[in-house]
Amino acid sequence: MDVTVGNSRVSGTARAPPSKSYTHRALLAAGYAGGALVRNPLVSADTKATARAVDHFGGDAERVQADWEITGFGGAPDVPADVIDCANSGTTMRLVSGAAALADGTTVLTGDRSLRSRPQGPLLDAIADLGGSARSTRGNGQAPLIVDGPIEGGHVEMPGDVSSQFVTSLLMAGALTDEGVEIELTTELKSAPYVDITLDVLESFGVTAEERENGYRVPGGQTYEPADGEYAVPGDFSSASYLLAAGALAGGEEVVVEGAHPSEQGDAAIVDVLRQMGADVEWRQDDGEIVVGRSDLDGITVGVADTPDLLPTIAVLGAAAEGTTTITDAEHVRYKETDRVSAMAEELAKLGAAVEERQDELVVHGGDSDLSGARVDGRGDHRIVMALSVAALVADGETTIEGGEHVDVSFPDFFDALGDLGAAVER
C-beta of residue 350 within 8 angstroms of C-beta of residue 374: yes
The residue annotated as part of the active site, out of 309, 329, 377, 381, is 309
Q: Using one digit for the tens of pLDDT, what is the confidence trace for 177-199? A: 999 999 999 999 999 999 999 99
Write down the mean pLDDT value for the chain: 97
| Domains, the chain | 3-17+235-426 (3.65.10.10), 20-232 (3.65.10.10)
User: Tell me, what's the pLDDT at 76?
Assistant: 97
User: Tell me, what's the pLDDT at 198?
Assistant: 98
The strands making up 398-402's β-sheet, listed across from edge to edge, are 375-377, 398-402, 3-6, 424-426
Query: Among candidates 286, 295, 279, 334, which has minimal Cα distance to 311?
Result: 334
- The pTM (predicted TM-score) of the whole model is 0.91
State yes or no: 309 annotated in a binding site: yes
Question: How do beta strands 398-402 and 3-6 pair?
Answer: antiparallel
Task: List the end-to-end C-alpha distance of the chain, in Å, as a whole number.
Answer: 7
User: Tell me, what's the pLDDT at 399?
Assistant: 98
State yes or no: 165 annotated in a binding site: yes
User: Tell me, what's the pLDDT at 104?
Assistant: 98
Strand ranges (E), 266-423: 280-284, 289-293, 301-303, 324-328, 354-357, 362-365, 375-377, 398-402
Instruction: Give the C-alpha separation, 25 to 98, whole Å.
Output: 12
Query: Among candidates 197, 86, 88, 201, which has minimal Cα distance to 147?
Result: 86
Active site residue 408: no
State yes or no: 191 annotated in a binding site: yes
Q: Bridge partners of 398?
A: 6
User: Tell me, what's the pLDDT at 137?
Assistant: 98
State yes or no: 164 annotated in a binding site: yes
- For each of the chain's 427 residues, which pLDDT tens digit applies? 999 999 999 999 999 999 999 999 999 999 999 999 999 999 999 999 999 999 999 999 999 999 999 999 999 999 999 999 999 999 999 999 999 999 999 999 999 999 999 999 999 999 999 999 999 999 999 999 999 999 999 999 999 999 999 999 999 999 999 999 999 999 999 999 999 999 999 999 999 999 999 999 999 999 999 999 999 999 999 999 999 999 999 999 999 999 999 999 999 999 999 999 999 999 999 999 999 999 999 999 999 999 999 999 999 999 999 999 999 999 999 999 999 999 999 999 999 999 999 999 999 999 999 999 999 999 999 999 999 999 999 999 999 999 999 999 999 999 999 999 999 999 9
Does residue 144 have a cis peptide bond before it, meaning omega lies within 30 degrees of 0? Answer: yes
Query: Among candidates 5, 66, 3, 59, which has minimal Cα distance to 27?
Result: 59
Query: Among candidates 14, 8, 405, 408, which has minimal Cα distance to 240?
Result: 14
State yes or no: 90 annotated in a binding site: yes
Phi, psi of 239 (to 5 degrees): -70, -40
Q: Using one digit for the tens of pLDDT, what is the confidence trace for 347-373? A: 999 999 999 999 999 999 999 999 999
State yes or no: 25 annotated in a binding site: yes
State yes or no: 190 annotated in a binding site: no
Half-sphere exposure of 395 toward its Cβ, with a 13 Å CA cutoff? 31
